[in-house]
Amino acid sequence: MARILIAGCGDVGTALGRNLSTAGHDVWGLKRRPLDLPAGIQPLAADLTDPTTLAALPAALDYIVYSAAAAGFGEEAYQSAYVAGVRHLLDALRQAGQQPKRLLFTSSTSVYAQNQGEWVDEDSPAEASGFSGRCIRQGEQLLWDSGWPAVAVRFGGIYGPGRTRMIDSVRDGTATRSAGPPLYTNRIHRDDCARVLEHLLFLPEPAPLYLAVDDDPAPLNDVLSWLAGQLGVPEPALTDGSPAKPGTGTREVAARMRASKRCRNARLRASGFSFRYPSYRDGYAALLCQEH
Ligand SMILES: NC(=O)c1ccc[n+]([C@@H]2O[C@H](COP(=O)([O-])OP(=O)(O)OC[C@H]3O[C@@H](n4cnc5c(N)ncnc54)[C@H](OP(=O)(O)O)[C@@H]3O)[C@@H](O)[C@H]2O)c1
């Protein structure tokens, strides 16, 4: 059985940790406040931005999953979470003489600049010019350059238990549909994120990069209308083409919301992975069921 460190053990990391511990592996969850980790994940209180706290990692780790997230949407937070934190963890592993078999990095489809509904895959240019895409690309590169086998996993928008912002906005009538060209969105259920990571940890000879999104890169309007039907509420109002509910007023968030692209998951599927929730319809239906 393997010894596995999940660095930045939040929502996805905890779901992964549970699966790995159930399968019999030794799992450590590293975060600043690890008190909420469930039994089966051994808590490790450390701050990835503070190298002194990383001096006592568990010995002889076989696998590392880096899944820390930025605390907010700002350059400093992204730099800390996706660049400095990665660098410090790699340094700590080297200084301790560790020889992990494989490192995984939870990346994001926000590294792509494509925004005209194009299909993108692992071979497409990933040249988003905003700080978020740049920092995440740097984190990927640090892992690939580490000298250890490393796999970056670019997730689409993650939804799942407790991550029901879209359902809530349709239910409370604040969601809007855009009258402009289709805004393609890509997503993946939290439980499939954990299953993808587990699959790629143990896959013989993985590629260095996978896109991890479900089979259904759907126009946002379709998702909103489908949800309205499921909830039995009126379809969200049509607006003149501005993005639906950007959330904050910052320019970059609005631009991100307009980043229409269709992510192809063929490489992941060809590796033998099968989705529990291949479409938003499956995943959201399960979430709505759990509400009752
Ligand atoms: N949200 C999305 O739709 C989306 C899309 C694509 C990719 N991703 C990526 O997927 C990954 C997993 O996301 P998630 O939803 O599981 O995130 P999450 O629930 O926010 O978990 C991130 C964890 O990182 C820990 N963390 C943050 N800064 C840290 C630090 N300096 N030192 C140690 N731990 C730190 C946090 O715990 P403490 O605060 O206790 O330290 C938190 O538990 C992230 O890398 C995220 O960027 C997310």
DSSP secondary structure code for residue 188 in this structure: E
Please give the structure tokens belonging to residue 225. Answer: 């209308």
The pick from 52, 66, 67 for probing ligand 1's pocket by mutation, whose C-beta has the most ligand atoms within 8 angstroms, reads: 67
The string of pLDDT tens digits covering residues 62-120 is: 999 999 999 999 999 999 999 999 999 999 999 999 999 999 999 999 999 999 999 99
Q: Which among 104, 146, 158, 112 is positioned nearest to 132, based on CA atoms? A: 112
* Statement: the pTM of the whole predicted model exceeds 0.85: yes
Nearest atom within ligand 1 for CA of residue 80: 31
pLDDT at 251: 44
Q: Which among 37, 67, 30 is positioned nearest to 190, based on CA atoms? A: 67
Whether ligand 1 lies within 6 angstroms of the CB of 155 is answered as yes
| 242 pLDDT higher than 80 | no
Q: Give percent of the chain above pLDDT 70.
A: 94
pLDDT at 247: 47
Whether ligand 1 lies within 6 angstroms of the CB of 157 is answered as yes
Q: Which among 97, 88, 92, 86 is positioned nearest to 57, based on CA atoms? A: 92
Report which protein residue has its CA nearest ligand 1's atom 18: 10
